[in-house]
Amino acid sequence: MSAGAGFGGLLHPVAQALRGLAKYLQGVMGADAYRKYLEHHAAAGHGTPPMDERAFWRDRTDRQDTNPQGRCC
Amino acid sequence: MGTMPEDGTRTAAEDLNPDVDGSLPPASVDDAVRDAEERRWTPAKIAIWVAIALLGGVAWFMLAVVRGETVNAIWFVFASVCTYLIGYRFYSKVIERYLLKPDDRRATPAEYKADGKDYVRTDRNVLFGHHFAAIAGAGPLVGPVIAAQMGYLPGTIWIIIGVVLAGAVQDYLVMFFSMRRGGRSLGQMAREELGVIGGTAALVATLLIMVIIVAILALVVVNALGESPWGVFSVGMTIPIALFMGVYLRYLRPGKVMEVSIIGFVLLMAAIIGGGAVAGTEWGAAFFHLDKVTIAWGLIVYGFIAAILPVWLLLAPRDYLSTFMKIGVIAMLAVAIIVVRPEITVPAFSEFAGRENGPVFSGALFPFLFVTIACGALSGFHALISSGTTPKLIEKERQTRFIGYGGMLMESFVAIMALVAAISIDRGIYFAMNAPAALTGGTVETAAQWVNGLGLAGVNITPDVLAQTASNVGEESIVSRSGGAPTLAVGLAHIMQQFIGGTGMMAFWYHFAIMFEALFILTAVDAGTRVARFMLQDSIGNFAPRFKEASWRPGAWLCTAIMVGAWGAVLLMGVTDPLGGINTLFPLFGIANQLLAAIALAVCMAIAAKRGSFRYLWIVAVPLAFTAVVTITASIHKIFSSVPAVGYFANNAAFSKALADGKTSFGTAKTTAAMEAVVRNTMIQGWLSVVFVVLSIIVIITAVAATVKAFRNTTAGIPNLNNEDRPHPSRVYAPAGLIPTPAERELMAEWNKVPANMRAERAGHH
């Protein structure tokens, strides 16, 4: 990524901070779930290929159908 | 279940061999090193904590002792933040060191059960945000507003002290014990630790409590949207927006969560702005102008459909939207309060602090203030989140203090900010908004006359002010908009317009606030209905096994209908209640929530006793005793009080007698039908209170019995049954808190040198 690179060194820390914030928010929202699944899959060394992105998200929400998670008041 | 330990007699550290693999650095900072680090007090460290203590002391002094004509809102921020910091640094450390004794050499469920889906090691800071978003919702925004009737000080003290000694303790303990049990739910833990009777009582109580909580949250939304075309339109638009997001994520661009959340957020803002335009047109005002009963029925039908639709279509996308809004709104509120620093004119103790017939909620300060503010100080509902979901994501045992205890402190801060927002508006407006229409008469003239007649110091309100405020926030009227949400929205609009946009933006900020409160509540209603439905299916399944199959449609639909019917009935009672639903029912919400806290703490006490931590059992016993006394006293008031405004049966008797005497209107009920409704509702509410309190007492008694038995076993040298999962050695490391200590940094550096292929979760082979 080269966001902010064209603005010289001054904006670089700002761009970096923003990118860090975006990454943090993605984590909180659970947007990085597929990446984490792939990491786990590769590390665990299963013989089968991992699910593709579409199948993964489908599986994720479908499992929530039978395993609901509470949200508080 | 497959998670039962093979042998109940072992202790945690015995069969845990940390050196499974000599090639890896240790998975935990050495105990002696950490100890030395914690006990080393450098001058800089001492200076920082002295400064925090002094600042907090000055802030409390300003709030509690000086109590000038006005008090600046910034003192609330300092008093709370300094107290939280001290509670977190000192008290939660005591709990960690002496009661829970986490061990980083043990793998967490996220490591030894890793599956890449439900059990995933998650960065502690990310998980903190994730957990916070799951526990915080509309509750901490509503309770403190209603409690402001008694003045600012009682609520402030309870929110801040309550969270440090009770609320955060509960969340931390439940999370830790559930983590040690592979992420088991509170219900499962109650069954294991308290036996069949205690476990069953806990399950039934939890189910009933969820019904009450969902119903009263729904009542808050209904009260906020009643006769508000702008609100109905913009909140109604969240449904098509969520459906669109769901389809987008499923079919168009799977996995692009941030992208769709930003699109959803933009659409949401458009819905708020568009709502103003729509409500300004004649057809829009007519079409979206709905009375409360219609909205309540709409919500019931919606609740049923939402709970049987697949998660991907409505619940998941709205959850993304709700999380996105939650983080943004809370950051915005904090910045605004710190920048604007409003002057507060509300007295520390109001005229109603010493009475039990306040117009906003009925009942004396003790015990009713302590149940009116539940979320933000002590919320039993959190025990359901802290067990189950979050423990499956924790990376290291020592992080539970930061996530469990720290996360709850954060929610408490939200409650303080809500309190500040509510008390920054004029007291006259506050009472005109929060008293039932039966008292205010519903018009600006009658409301102003009633408020001025209350004899409140410094309150003199004119009908013009009420009309002007309503028109500023883009509503037809703000009189008798009880439930807390509209008051918070006016307070927030009042603060935000000084920050951004001026008076012209007040209507936008008001509806922005109503929108996010409705969004949080609708998500809680949906998720609550689903969770309750599964609990019911599971229970019925013990007698009719077919019900245990989650995919069996008739069973799922029947149980959903039962749960929605149950909360829907309570909701309709509240909406049609001529005494004002919030006034009588809101205390029931707090009682239900804190009875659940009592159940959770009782389970924790039994577990702590079985671990042999008798010297430090007071850490659990004190908040348990307090919440038990508060909720049981409040229940007794609600059941036996002879004051009709407080006691359900006293009210029932008064109305029954009036009907028997042939009266056609009594008190606030203007027709015989309304009188009959009161008789019916009070009977149901009264018996619900009886059932709650009896079930909770059963749970507490079984927990005390389990504690006594554990004590006897220990003194007799008999080992207690240990229901924890078998310990697995950990092969990963991460620091415990927000900022790593020098020793933690050193260990992290060691782990960073380990080649990536060796660090990965090979523990996954099992």
**B522-568 pLDDT, tens digit each:** 999 999 999 999 989 988 998 999 998 878 889 999 999 999 999 99
Q: Where are the domains of chain B?
A: 50-101+122-227+290-348+371-719
Q: What's the confidence (pLDDT) of residue B22?
A: 67
At B610, is the secondary structure helix, strand, or coil? Answer: helix
Identity at B554, one-letter amino acid code: P
* Mean pLDDT, range B723-729, rounded to an integer: 94
Label each residue of B140-164 as H, E or C.
HHHHHHHHHHHCHHHHHHHHHHHHH
What is the percent of chain B with per-residue pLDDT over 70, rounded to a whole number?
Answer: 95
Between the CA of residue B435 and those of B307, B406, B757, what are the distances in Å?
A: 33, 35, 65
Residue B17 has pLDDT above 80, yes or no: no
Beta pairing partners, B344? B71
| CATH number assigned to the domain with residue range B50-101+122-227+290-348+371-719, chosen from the 4 options 1.20.1090.10, 3.40.50.1390, 1.20.1740.10, 3.40.50.150 | 1.20.1740.10
What is the percent of chain B with per-residue pLDDT over 90, rounded to a whole number?
Answer: 79
In this structure, what token pair is assigned to residue A52?
Answer: 């593709």
CA distance linking residue B285 with residue B277, whole number of Å: 10
Burial state string for B692-714 with b = 16 or more CB within 10 A and e = fewer than 16: bbebbbbbbebbbebbeebbebb
Contacts of A42 in chain B (CB under 8 A): 760
At B214, is the secondary structure helix, strand, or coil? Answer: helix
Contacts of B310 in chain A (CB under 8 A): 61-62, 65
| Contact between chains at B312 and A58 (C-beta distance less than 8 A) | yes
Which residue is associated with the tokens 């949207």? B225
Q: What interhelical angle do B229-247 and B257-280 show, nearest 10? A: 150
Q: What's the confidence (pLDDT) of residue A46?
A: 75
Cα angle A54-A56-A60, degrees, rounded to a multiple of 5: 120
Chain B residues 323-342 with a CB less than 8 Å from chain A: 323-324, 327
Contact B213, B381 (CB under 8 A): yes
CA distance linking residue B269 with residue B512, whole number of Å: 8
The H-or-E segment that residue B263 falls in is helix B257-280
Provide the mean pLDDT of chain B.
91
Chain A closest CA to B91's CA: distance in Å? 25
Burial class (CB in 10 A: 0-12, 13-18, 19+), B5: middle
CA distance linking residue B720 with residue B723, whole number of Å: 10
Task: Measure the N-to-C terminal CA separation of chain A; round to a whole number of Å.
Answer: 40
Chain A closest CA to B262's CA: distance in Å? 12
A10 close contact with B: CB closer than 8 A: no
Identity at B608, one-letter amino acid code: A
| Contact between chains at B130 and A34 (C-beta distance less than 8 A) | no
Q: Of B174-188, B295-309, B582-596, B609-623, which range is least confident?
A: B582-596
Residue B765 has pLDDT above 70, yes or no: no
* Mean pLDDT, range B468-483, rounded to an integer: 94
* Mean pLDDT, range B117-145, rounded to an integer: 94
CA distance linking residue B523 with residue B354, whole number of Å: 37
Contact A69, B527 (CB under 8 A): yes
CA distance linking residue B352 with residue B81, whole number of Å: 28
Identity at B403, one-letter amino acid code: I
Q: What's the confidence (pLDDT) of residue B21?
A: 58
Residue B9 has pLDDT above 80, yes or no: no
Among B307, B322, B251, residue whose Cα is nearest residue B561: B307
| Contact between chains at A72 and B523 (C-beta distance less than 8 A) | no
CA distance linking residue B622 with residue B15, whole number of Å: 34
CA distance linking residue B196 with residue B517, whole number of Å: 39
Residue A49: CB atoms within 10 Å: 7
Q: What's the confidence (pLDDT) of residue B766?
A: 38
Among B560, B522, B46, B563, residue whose Cα is nearest residue B325: B522
Chain B closest CA to A51's CA: distance in Å? 11
Cα angle A69-B598-B547, degrees, rounded to a multiple of 5: 40
pLDDT band, very low/low/confident/very high, at B8 (cuts 50, 70, 90): very low
**B314-359 pLDDT, tens digit each:** 999 999 999 988 888 888 889 999 999 999 999 999 999 999 889 9
The H-or-E segment that residue B344 falls in is strand B343-344
In this structure, what token pair is assigned to residue B760?
Answer: 């990965």
In this structure, what token pair is assigned to residue B225?
Answer: 């949207």
The H-or-E segment that residue B72 falls in is strand B71-72
Residue B215 has pLDDT above 80, yes or no: yes
pLDDT band, very low/low/confident/very high, at B759 (cuts 50, 70, 90): low
Higher pLDDT, B763 or B183: B183
Chain B closest CA to A17's CA: distance in Å? 15
Contacts of B257 in chain A (CB under 8 A): 26, 29-31
A22 close contact with B: CB closer than 8 A: yes
**B33-82 pLDDT, tens digit each:** 999 999 999 999 999 999 999 999 999 999 999 887 899 999 999 999 99
Among B432, B331, B394, residue whose Cα is nearest residue B122: B394
Among B362, B367, B364, B368, residue whose Cα is nearest residue B353: B364
Higher pLDDT, B684 or B13: B684
In this structure, what token pair is assigned to residue B91?
Answer: 């008290």
CA distance linking residue A15 with residue B56, whole number of Å: 36
pLDDT band, very low/low/confident/very high, at B20 (cuts 50, 70, 90): low
Among B615, B131, B607, B726, residue whose Cα is nearest residue B399: B131
* Mean pLDDT, range B646-662, rounded to an integer: 92
Chain A residues 31-60 with a CB less than 8 Å from chain B: 31, 33-34, 36-45, 53-54, 56-60
**Cα dihedral across residues B422, B425, B430, B433: positive or negative:** negative
Q: What interhelical angle do B315-340 and B257-280 show, nearest 10? A: 70
Which residue is associated with the tokens 């067990």? B387
Which residue is associated with the tokens 């609320």? B167
Residue A2 has pLDDT above 50, yes or no: no
Q: What's the confidence (pLDDT) of residue B603?
A: 96
Cα angle B373-B378-B383, degrees, rounded to a multiple of 5: 130
CA distance linking residue B528 with residue B532, whole number of Å: 6
Whether the link from the prior residue into B391 is cis, omega within 30° of 0, is: no
At B577, is the secondary structure helix, strand, or coil? Answer: coil
Higher pLDDT, B762 or B661: B661
B375 close contact with A: CB closer than 8 A: yes
Contacts of B526 in chain A (CB under 8 A): 71
**What are the residues whose beta carbons fall under 8 Å from the beta carbon of B210, sequence distance 6 or more?**
B528, B531, B532, B535
| Contact between chains at B531 and A57 (C-beta distance less than 8 A) | no
CA distance linking residue B592 with residue B408, whole number of Å: 19
Chain A closest CA to B447's CA: distance in Å? 31
pLDDT band, very low/low/confident/very high, at B680 (cuts 50, 70, 90): confident
In this structure, what token pair is assigned to residue B320?
Answer: 């993304």
Contact B376, B592 (CB under 8 A): no
Q: What interhelical angle do B406-423 and B124-135 show, nearest 10? A: 50
| Contact between chains at A66 and B551 (C-beta distance less than 8 A) | yes
Beta pairing partners, B72? B343
Contact B557, B308 (CB under 8 A): yes
Contact B492, B414 (CB under 8 A): no
In this structure, what token pair is assigned to residue B380?
Answer: 């039993």
Chain A closest CA to B257's CA: distance in Å? 5
Q: What's the confidence (pLDDT) of residue B524?
A: 92
Provide the mean pLDDT of chain A.
83
